[in-house]
Amino acid sequence: MNAIHQHMGMGTLPSEPVVGYLARSTSAFYAFLGGLMWVLSFDVRRHRLALCYVGAGSIALGLILLGVDFAEGMPLHWRVSEGPFGIAVGAMLLWLSLRVGPQPNSATEEREP
């Protein structure tokens, strides 16, 4: 992590325990979220509401991260990639989830293929 941190021009990575904790716990959280998205993808109609929530939340988180990146003086490449990428992924997920349409309400309604 220190080599990557230095390569990005941000100096030596601080060695305090909280830095390693935050880096590793954030990575674990993103891995968990990726697994959740994978599971939800098996039945998009059924999980449409959750997918819309994740899409909208990703847009909001992307906007927040964009503000944090500018406020903390992150390098330009970081500012133009992290927040905007999250916004784009969230917008795409939300748009695709809304296009699917809701799951039929009763067993008598036919499902679209």
| Every domain of the chain and the residues it spans | 1-41, 44-104
Task: For residue 41, give the DSSP letter.
Answer: G
Cβ(111)–Cβ(104) under 8 Å?
yes
* The token pair that represents 73 in the structure block: 């003086």
What confidence score (pLDDT) does residue 2 get?
87
What confidence score (pLDDT) does residue 22 get?
92
Cβ(19)–Cβ(13) under 8 Å?
yes
pTM of the model: 0.79
Task: For residue 11, give the DSSP letter.
Answer: -
What confidence score (pLDDT) does residue 4 get?
86
Burial class of 89 by CB neighbour count within 10 A (0 to 12, 13 to 18, 19+): middle
Q: How many residues does the chain have?
A: 113
What confidence score (pLDDT) does residue 112 get?
55
Q: Is 8 helix (H, G, I), strand (E, B) or coil?
A: coil
* The token pair that represents 33 in the structure block: 């979220």
Render each residue's pLDDT in the chain as its tens digit; 113 residues. Answer: 889 889 888 889 898 999 999 999 999 999 999 999 999 999 999 999 999 999 999 999 999 999 999 999 998 999 999 999 999 999 999 999 999 877 777 554 555 55
Cβ(86)–Cβ(58) under 8 Å?
yes
